[in-house]
């Protein structure tokens, strides 16, 4: 999968009919419901960087003594010049490129990417460059939980859809069946029953995960609670023509029909209430208080799975606290990923995905439900062609989880990512990474040298991070390639994550 894409990030999305000059009056390919995939040799036209011939190069082999005599500056083999152009190598000045999806079966076995660095070192800018270029290769960019709203401009520039969750904004029903609901009536009876059972199973598992959050039970439901919730979901789905919402499940649990008594092996109302009281009140908590009006009613704006990019913006929830954001992340992840899996099951979607999971520390606070979702993605992303990008600040994030099993699962996320990108980090943090992904002493010293504290100006403001835009790209056990990311003017506008801070400083 060789790609000549050096200029892809600089040009932005190519417009329909564009042959070197802008064609603003004509519709974009996304508006015509067509996909644009970068040609192997580049775009035709003036100043488009097209190569008439892509030379594969020649490989010469020799002993260490012979090669060192011919060229004494022996270094590890650089990464192939294909995929996403990052920037010049800080040591050799060669172009460093990154292509985790194209390198599967060659340099990597899993397309997962782990990005780690201090705040302000430019992690999000690199992830957005990857999303932008992979979009031109035909991948669909999906941001199922944009906590700070920083992917909005990029998604809109790609002609994608942004769903904003919040009071007075859009709402999402976590129990929504997505595109499956409209197809059930056209299926044969046996196929319809099987598919409906699959839908109800997903709904039950999501409710179990939401119940484990601080706004629910704060733990996973026990066997009796899980049993009765699953039975209530199936009962409501059979009664209603539309997708159920969480208040529908609460209403059935409060009603307490005899079918639910039988599932709990009870014979009296008092016995039934004693077993369902806690789980019923916990589900009601998900519909009241700070979560009221967010996930307790039908979806107001379904995801457009034909769009080139999707983003579920949760930035309006930041003022409600970390626990609300964590619960929101779990709900939007389940909704987004469920809709995509459903569309694939029906043959309605076959595009590979890029899934950036920024602010990972917030997601982990959602509890076991989010950890299990991340674990499942990293185990299946190779088969599905998905590039899952985990972005975090510290290896201490998994330690915030309560159970040893969840902490082990969280650590396994990094171990299964064959591509590691490190920004500025302290020596202590690099040693923790070294315990999972071996680093050389030179690599540790280089990355640590970027983590010097920022310079404070006379006005008290902190200046640009000294390691901003510098990354060590490490693939498997190969020697890492230190690179510098230089953004274009268009990228500087789309990737700016310091706007809020500048507004605060200007206001003061």
At 46-67, the pLDDT tens digits run 877 787 777 777 777 777 777 6
pLDDT tier at 501, thresholds 50, 70, 90:
very low
Report the DSSP pairing between strands 419-422 and 140-146.
unpaired
The Cα–Cα gap between 122 and 422 comes to: 11
The Cα–Cα gap between 111 and 98 comes to: 11
Distance, CA of 146 to chain centre: 9
Judgement on whether residues 340 and 366 belong to the same structural domain of the protein: no
The Cα–Cα gap between 479 and 403 comes to: 35
Judgement on whether residues 340 and 402 belong to the same structural domain of the protein: no
Judgement on whether residues 479 and 371 belong to the same structural domain of the protein: yes
Residue 115's φ and ψ, nearest 5 degrees, are -115, 125
Judgement on whether residues 214 and 330 belong to the same structural domain of the protein: yes
Between 20-24, 232-236, 416-420, 448-452, the lowest mean confidence (pLDDT) is in 20-24
> What pLDDT, on a 0 to 100 scale, did the predictor assign at position 400?
67
High-pLDDT (> 90) share of the chain, %: 28
Residue 189: inside a domain: yes
**CB 410 within 8 Å of CB 397:** yes
> What pLDDT, on a 0 to 100 scale, did the predictor assign at position 209?
80
Judgement on whether residues 110 and 246 belong to the same structural domain of the protein: no
The Cα–Cα gap between 72 and 183 comes to: 66
Element (H, E) at 246: helix 246-255
Judgement on whether residues 117 and 30 belong to the same structural domain of the protein: yes
Report the DSSP pairing between strands 113-116 and 309-313.
unpaired
> What residues have CB less than 8 Å from 308, skipping those under 6 apart?
30, 35, 135, 140, 141, 158, 159, 160
Judgement on whether residues 54 and 179 belong to the same structural domain of the protein: no
pLDDT tier at 500, thresholds 50, 70, 90:
very low
**CB 338 within 8 Å of CB 202:** yes
Judgement on whether residues 502 and 369 belong to the same structural domain of the protein: yes
- Residue among 458, 465, 173 nearest 303 (CA): 173
Residue 98's φ and ψ, nearest 5 degrees, are -145, 125
**CB 180 within 8 Å of CB 195:** yes
Is 456's pLDDT higher than 50?
Answer: no
> What pLDDT, on a 0 to 100 scale, did the predictor assign at position 370?
66
> What pLDDT, on a 0 to 100 scale, did the predictor assign at position 368?
62
> What pLDDT, on a 0 to 100 scale, did the predictor assign at position 327?
82
Residue 208: inside a domain: yes
Residues in the chain: 508
The mean per-residue pLDDT over the stretch 471-483 comes to: 91
Between 204-208, 263-267, 450-454, the lowest mean confidence (pLDDT) is in 450-454
pLDDT tier at 21, thresholds 50, 70, 90:
very low
Higher pLDDT, 453 or 197: 197
The mean per-residue pLDDT over the stretch 2-13 comes to: 42
Judgement on whether residues 367 and 251 belong to the same structural domain of the protein: no
Across the chain, what does the average pLDDT equal? Answer: 80
Pure H helices in 346-466:
360-364, 368-384, 404-415, 427-434, 441-449
378: its two tokens: 């990293």
> What pLDDT, on a 0 to 100 scale, did the predictor assign at position 504?
42
Higher pLDDT, 299 or 37: 299
Residue 200: inside a domain: yes
Question: What value does the CA radius of gyration of the chain take, rounded to a whole number of Å?
Answer: 25
First to last CA, the chain: 51
pLDDT tier at 189, thresholds 50, 70, 90:
confident
Judgement on whether residues 114 and 247 belong to the same structural domain of the protein: no
Residue 221: inside a domain: yes
Residue 35: inside a domain: yes
3-state SS assignment for residue 196:
helix
Report the DSSP pairing between strands 161-164 and 309-313.
parallel
CATH code where residue 25 lies:
3.40.50.300
pTM comes to: 0.78
Residue 206: inside a domain: yes
Is 4's pLDDT higher than 70?
Answer: no
> What pLDDT, on a 0 to 100 scale, did the predictor assign at position 208?
84
Total structural domains within the chain: 2
Report the DSSP pairing between strands 470-475 and 419-422.
antiparallel
Residue 56: inside a domain: yes
Residue 318: inside a domain: no
Distance, CA of 394 to chain centre: 17
Is 462's pLDDT higher than 50?
Answer: yes
> What pLDDT, on a 0 to 100 scale, did the predictor assign at position 506?
42
**Residues spanned by the domain of 227:** 167-307+324-345
The mean per-residue pLDDT over the stretch 275-291 comes to: 88
Judgement on whether residues 79 and 198 belong to the same structural domain of the protein: no
The Cα–Cα gap between 77 and 99 comes to: 16
> What pLDDT, on a 0 to 100 scale, did the predictor assign at position 246?
92
Judgement on whether residues 229 and 331 belong to the same structural domain of the protein: yes
Best-predicted range by mean pLDDT (168-182, 256-270, 356-370): 256-270
pLDDT tier at 76, thresholds 50, 70, 90:
low
The half-sphere exposure of 448 on its side-chain side, counting CA atoms within 13 A, is 16
3-state SS assignment for residue 85:
strand
The Cα–Cα gap between 344 and 339 comes to: 9
Is 132's pLDDT higher than 90?
Answer: yes
> What pLDDT, on a 0 to 100 scale, did the predictor assign at position 89?
92
The Cα–Cα gap between 474 and 482 comes to: 9
Is 505's pLDDT higher than 50?
Answer: no
């Amino acid at each position: 999968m060789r790609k000549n894409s050096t200029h892809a990030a600089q040009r932005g999305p190519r417009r329909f009919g564009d042959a070197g000059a802008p064609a603003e009056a004509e519709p974009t390919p996304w508006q015509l419901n067509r996909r644009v995939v970068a040609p192997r040799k580049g775009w035709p036209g003036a100043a488009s960087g097209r190569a008439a011939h892509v030379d594969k190069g020649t490989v010469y082999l020799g002993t260490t003594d012979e090669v060192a005599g011919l060229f004494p500056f022996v270094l590890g083999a650089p990464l192939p010049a294909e995929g996403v152009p990052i920037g010049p190598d800080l040591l050799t000045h060669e172009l460093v490129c990154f292509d985790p999806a194209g390198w599967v079966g060659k340099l990597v076995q899993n397309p997962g990417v782990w990005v780690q660095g201090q705040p302000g070192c430019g992690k999000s800018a690199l992830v957005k460059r990857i999303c932008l270029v992979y979009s031109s290769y035909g991948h669909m960019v999906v941001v199922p939980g944009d906590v700070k709203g920083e992917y909005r401009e990029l998604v809109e520039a790609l002609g994608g859809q942004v769903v904003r969750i919040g009071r007075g904004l859009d709402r999402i029903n976590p129990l929504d069946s997505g595109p499956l609901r409209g197809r059930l009536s056209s299926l044969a009876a046996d196929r319809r029953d099987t598919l409906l059972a699959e839908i109800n199973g997903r709904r039950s598992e999501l409710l179990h995960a939401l119940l484990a959050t601080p706004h629910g039970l704060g733990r996973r439901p026990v066997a009796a609670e899980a049993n009765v919730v699953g039975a209530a979901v199936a009962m409501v789905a059979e009664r209603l023509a539309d997708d159920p919402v969480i208040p529908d499940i609460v209403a059935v649990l409060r009603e307490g029909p005899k079918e639910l008594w039988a599932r709990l092996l009870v014979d009296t109302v008092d016995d039934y209430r004693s077993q369902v009281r806690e789980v019923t009140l916990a589900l009601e908590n998900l519909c009241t208080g700070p979560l009221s009006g967010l996930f307790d009613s039908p979806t107001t704006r379904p995801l457009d799975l034909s769009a080139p990019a999707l983003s579920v913006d949760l930035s309006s929830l930041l003022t409600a606290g970390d626990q609300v954001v964590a619960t929101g992340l779990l709900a939007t992840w389940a909704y987004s990923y469920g809709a995509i899996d459903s569309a694939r099951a029906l043959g309605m979607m076959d595009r590979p995905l890029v899934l950036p999971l920024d602010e990972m520390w917030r997601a982990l606070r959602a509890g076991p439900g989010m950890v299990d979702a991340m674990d499942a993605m990293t185990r299946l992303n190779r088969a599905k062609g998905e590039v899952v990008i985990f972005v975090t600040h510290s290896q201490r994030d998994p330690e915030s989880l309560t159970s040893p099993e969840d902490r082990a699962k969280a650590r396994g996320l990094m171990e299964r990512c064959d591509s590691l990108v490190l920004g500025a980090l302290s020596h202590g943090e690099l040693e923790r990474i070294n315990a999972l992904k071996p680093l050389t002493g030179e690599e540790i010293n280089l990355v640590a040298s970027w983590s010097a504290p920022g310079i404070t100006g006379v006005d008290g403001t902190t200046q640009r991070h000294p390691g901003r835009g510098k990354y060590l790209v490490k693939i498997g056990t190969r020697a890492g390639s230190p690179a510098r990311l230089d953004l274009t003017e268009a990228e500087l506008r789309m990737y700016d994550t310091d706007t809020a801070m500048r507004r605060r400083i200007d206001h003061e």
